[in-house]
Structure 1
Amino acid sequence: MNYVSLVLVSHSEEIAKGLKKLLKQIAPDVRIAAAGGSDGEIGTNALHIQEAIESVYSEKGTVVLFDLGSALLNAELALEMADRKERVRIADAPLVEGAYIAAVEAGLGKPLEEVVQACEAAKEMVKIAK
Structure 2
Amino acid sequence: MARTEDTPTGSPRGGARRAAKPKRSLRPQVVALGVAAFVALIGWGVLVWVAIHFGRSARGGDSEKWAYLAAASIGAVLCLFLSLWLFTVVLRRVGILEDNRRPAHPHRDEGPAAHPHRHEGPAAHPHRDDRPPSSHRH
Same fold per TM (> 0.5)? Answer: no
Give the structure with higher Rg (CA).
2
Report the TM-score, using the length of structure 2 for normalisation.
0.18
Larger RCO (CA within 8 A; separation ≥ 6): 1
Report the TM-score, using the length of structure 1 for normalisation.
0.19
